[in-house]
């Protein structure tokens, strides 16, 4: 077993109908740009009724058809938000918690210790988060239920140096499930990245399950200048 094997995002996504929401952070193979990607999927009408919309400091989710929106509290949030020279990427409103803590000089770990998994039992969807620094290094975290009844929260924190060609992928679910969707297990997965933003965007979008995929955001940031380019795709256009 090669524990340092770098996996294929194409293979991981094309063989998994429902990884849920996912974050990819890393550095391009040529070592010149940092990479951040975030996607959402959904099975219910409420979850599928979403799009990504650009904000001055990132993106937010919003209802595609406001008349179909039933419960916004877990599906309407600010998933990507700039924080100084860095970028916060999460699957929920903990984005704002992290931003507020960083703004007053506190750590992202301290911010996430005030939060826990989502209150959607029996799934207890984990909160996944990433923090990409200006030098290409990054942190990731998952907050998940420590037992089937959601009585306690297990918190995991990971920290990675900028390594050319290497990314890490974390997602909310192992795979689809009924009646309970199994929570992501283990460490963030080592994955191969692309130098070209459009190549990675296409790879992600085309290999997400066509029935369940909803939206995708990808940003490449030049590590020398801080300038970035980004792509945003919505199933509901």
The pLDDT tens digits for 51-66 are 999 999 999 999 898 8
- The pLDDT, as a whole number, for residue 75 is 80
Q: Among 61-65, 93-97, 149-153, 180-184, which stretch is predicted with the lowest mean pLDDT?
A: 61-65
Q: Identify the pLDDT of residue 47.
A: 84
Please check whether residue 3 lies inside any domain of the structure: no
Position 4 in a domain: no
What is the residue-averaged pLDDT of the chain?
96
How far is Cα 92 from Cα 118, in angstroms, rounded to an integer? 9
Q: For the chain, what percent of residues have pLDDT higher than 90?
A: 90
In the predicted structure, residue 74 carries a pLDDT above the cut 90: no
How many Cβ atoms from other residues are within 10 Å of residue 8's Cβ? 13
**Nearest C-alpha neighbor of 130 from the set 37, 223, 207, 41:** 37
3-state secondary structure of 193: coil
Q: Are 128 and 171 in contact (CB under 8 A)?
A: yes
pTM beyond 0.75, yes or no: yes
Position 111 pLDDT exceeds 90 = yes
Q: Which domain covers residue 185, as residue numbers?
A: 9-234
Q: What is the pLDDT of residue 8?
A: 98
Contact assessment for residue 158 and residue 140, using Cβ atoms and an 8 Å cutoff: yes
Long-range CB contacts for residues 174-182, cutoff 8 Å, separation at least 24 = 174/19, 175/16, 175/17, 175/18, 175/19, 176/16, 176/17, 176/18, 177/18, 179/122, 180/122, 180/123, 181/18, 181/20, 181/123, 181/125
Task: Give the CATH number for residue 57.
Answer: 3.60.20.20
Indicate if the pLDDT at residue 49 is higher than 90: no
Q: How many domains does the chain have?
A: 1
Using 50, 70 and 90 to split pLDDT, how confident is the model at 139? very high
Residue 1 lies in a domain: no
pLDDT above 70 coverage of the chain, percent = 100
Between the alpha carbon of residue 40 and those of residues 18, 76, 85, 131, 222, the distances in Å are 10, 12, 25, 18, 25
pLDDT tens by residue, 157-202: 999 999 999 999 999 999 999 999 999 999 999 999 999 999 999 9
Q: Which residue has the higher pLDDT, 74 or 79?
A: 79
Residue whose structure tokens are 């077993």 = 1
117 lies in some domain: yes
In a domain, 2, yes or no: no
Does residue 171 fall inside a structural domain? yes
Q: Is the pLDDT of residue 237 over 80?
A: no
| 217 vs 234: CA distance, rounded Å | 9
The answer as to whether 194 is a domain residue is yes
pLDDT bucket at 208, cuts 50 / 70 / 90: very high
Residue 25 has pLDDT above 90, yes or no: yes
Banded pLDDT at 6 (limits 50, 70, 90): very high
In a domain, 132, yes or no: yes
């Amino acid at each position: 077993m090669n524990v340092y094997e770098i996996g294929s995002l194409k293979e991981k996504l094309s063989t998994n109908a429902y990884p849920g929401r996912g974050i990819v952070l890393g550095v391009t193979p040529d070592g010149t740009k940092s990479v951040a990607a975030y996607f959402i999927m959904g099975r219910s009408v409420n979850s599928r009724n979403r799009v990504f919309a650009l904000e001055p400091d990132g993106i937010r989710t919003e209802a595609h058809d406001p008349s179909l929106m039933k419960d916004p509290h877990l599906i309407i949030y600010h998933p990507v938000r700039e924080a100084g020279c860095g970028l916060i990427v999460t699957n929920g409103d903990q984005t704002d918690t992290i931003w507020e803590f960083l703004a007053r000089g506190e750590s992202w770990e301290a911010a996430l210790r005030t939060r826990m998994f989502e209150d959607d039992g029996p799934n207890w969807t984990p909160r996944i988060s990433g923090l990409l620094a200006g030098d290409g290094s990054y942190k990731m975290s998952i907050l998940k239920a420590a037992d089937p009844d959601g009585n306690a929260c297990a918190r995991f924190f990971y920290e990675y140096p900028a390594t050319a060609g290497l990314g890490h992928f974390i997602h909310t679910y192992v795979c689809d499930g009924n009646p309970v969707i199994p929570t992501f297990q283990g460490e963030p997965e080592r994955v191969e990245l692309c130098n070209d933003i459009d190549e990675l965007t296409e790879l992600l979008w085309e290999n997400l399950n066509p029935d369940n995929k909803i939206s995708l955001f990808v940003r490449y940031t030049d590590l020398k200048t801080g300038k970035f380019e980004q792509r945003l795709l919505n199933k509901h256009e």
